[in-house]
Amino acid sequence: MLKVNVKNADETKNIGFKLSKSLQPGDVLLLDGDLGAGKTTFTKGLAEGLGITRNIKSPTFTIIKEYSDGKIPLYHMDIYRLEDGGSDELGLDEYFNSDGITVVEWSKFVESNLPTEYLKIQFIRNDDNNFDSREIIFDAKGSHFNQILKSGEL
Ligand SMILES: Nc1ncnc2c1ncn2[C@@H]1O[C@H](COP(=O)(O)OP(=O)(O)OP(=O)(O)O)[C@@H](O)[C@H]1O
Ligand SMILES: [Mg+2]
């Protein structure tokens, strides 16, 4: 587990940017945290780090957005609207087993099996006077992600 404190949205983006440099095809990132906690902001930094130039928009209404103009394809999904079920029909397995990087916002609503290796990232508002500060908590499953957390790159 790794905890990182950030002071503002740019710092959150920067963590995503830095993480992108250690990612490889097939990686799965599971993002959780309240509405507006910073999941999409983080994904924007990550996409920038992958060399994606298209603007990353929250896929809340489209559920899945694919970006293939970077060095590795990015599959960005937001399954918040599926809180009452239905995520099974998205065929998440196919994304998890793909050669792209899969980022799932609101992963707590995933109903299908999670992959054997993933990085869980939680965004938590700090209970302090700075409205823009967040704690980002990383939990790694699998050696690749454990190595990233140990490397000190984040
Ligand atoms: N430290 C921070 N990290 C990320 N975003 C921040 C931070 N401080 C302020 N913000 C602002 O909070 C908002 C975060 O919105 P964002 O869309 O990233 O959240 P989200 O977790 O994806 O929400 P949703 O669940 O609705 O998809 C943005 O307007 C951003 O500018
Ligand atoms: Mg979002």
Residues with CB under 5 A from ligand 2 (ion): 39-40, 58, 105
Task: State in Å: Cα 36 to ligand 1 middle.
Answer: 4
Between 29-38, 105-114, 116-125, the lowest mean confidence (pLDDT) is in: 105-114
Parallel/antiparallel/unpaired status of strands 118-125 and 134-141: antiparallel
Parallel/antiparallel/unpaired status of strands 28-33 and 118-125: parallel
For 5-24, write each residue's pLDDT tens digit: 999 999 999 999 999 999 99
Ligand 1 within 6 A of CB of 117? no
> What is the extent of the structural domain holding 134?
2-151
Ligand 1 within 6 A of CB of 78? yes
Domains identified in the chain, total number: 1
What is the pTM for the complete model shown?
A: 0.96
Ligand 1 within 6 A of CB of 132? yes
For 61-79, write each residue's pLDDT tens digit: 788 999 999 999 999 999 9
3-state helix, strand, coil in the chain (%, to 5): 30, 25, 45
Atom 29 in ligand 1: residue holding the nearest Cα: 36
Q: If you search the block for the tokens 């780090």, which residue do you land on? A: 49
Distance set, CA 149 to CA 2, 59, 87, 112, 139 (Å) = 6, 27, 29, 26, 9
Q: Where are the beta strands (DSSP E) in the chain?
A: 2-6, 28-33, 64-67, 74-78, 101-105, 118-125, 134-141
Task: State in Å: Cα 56 to ligand 2 middle.
Answer: 10
CATH number of domain containing 121: 3.40.50.300
More confident of the two residues 112 and 83: 112
